[in-house]
Amino acid sequence: MEHPPAPLQTKEFRVARPQIVGPDVPKAPFPISLQGPVQHGFGRGSKDLGCPTANLPDDAIKPMTSVAKTGVYYGYAQIIPTGGEDIPLRPEDKVVLPMVMSLGWNPFYKNERLTAEIHIMHEFQSDFYGLEMRAVVLGYIRPELDYTSREALIDDINTDKRVALNSLDRPAYRAFARHTHFT
* Catalytic residue list: 117
Between the alpha carbon of residue 102 and those of residues 21, 86, 107, 161, 174, the distances in Å are 16, 29, 12, 11, 21
Helix-then-strand count for the chain, H and E: 5, 6
Q: Which residues contact 9 (CB under 8 A, 6 or more apart)?
A: 145, 146, 147, 148, 152, 153, 156
**Bridge partners of 119?**
100
